[in-house]
Chain A
């Protein structure tokens, strides 16, 4: 059972802005940074955002991340058809001996 909660789905038309939330706790997002991964069905996940708001080289600036308290958010502006995928937040959790936790995942549909 995941400790990071995301909405199961989100959608928008091309060009719109879509935001995905990720709710955690003081032991994960509250004390560590969040990352976001994009997974097109049938393919491996791809790192989209790290350290809350940093984009790896090659990731379009349409993708942006933020963090506030124990929650993180991913925004996709200027939605494009190729953005249709599953999105997962993730963070290190300091409980027990420490573990990496993923969010429940959000399926983004481009209408």
Chain B
């Protein structure tokens, strides 16, 4: 059973960089796409971007200038960095897996439990 676990600081200061890591256990990071999704308090889900295990990335256009997603296949981990954060970036951040099929046709079938990140001085 594949398990995803997000980790990283729960508090980030405004204008600094948010950094989170997702560790994949119970399976390989290879042969899948991996996404980051966030959910502001009381609001809906927002896709941030994905990375393929080969390193190919795609980001939500409105976040593209601030986001970097990377993968470390040797550690079975992938990470997200979001720069110049503001209070609007306060959210629960989830990592999730999706299969190598076009256009996310099989959806995101495995999710982490989520980690809360608060942006505040």
Contact = CB atoms under 8 A, between A and B. Distances in A.
A binds B: yes
Interface in B85-121: 94, 103-109, 111-114
Contacts, number: 72
A63 interface: no
Contacts of B106: 35, 50-51
Interface of A: 2, 32-33, 35, 37, 39, 43-47, 49-51, 56, 88, 90-92, 94, 96-105
27 contacts: A2-B44, A32-B104, A32-B105, A35-B108, A37-B107, A44-B94, A44-B111, A44-B112, A45-B37, A45-B45, A45-B94, A46-B111, A47-B107, A50-B105, A50-B106, A51-B105, A51-B106, A88-B44, A88-B45, A90-B45, A96-B61, A99-B47, A99-B60, A100-B35, A102-B44, A104-B44, A105-B44
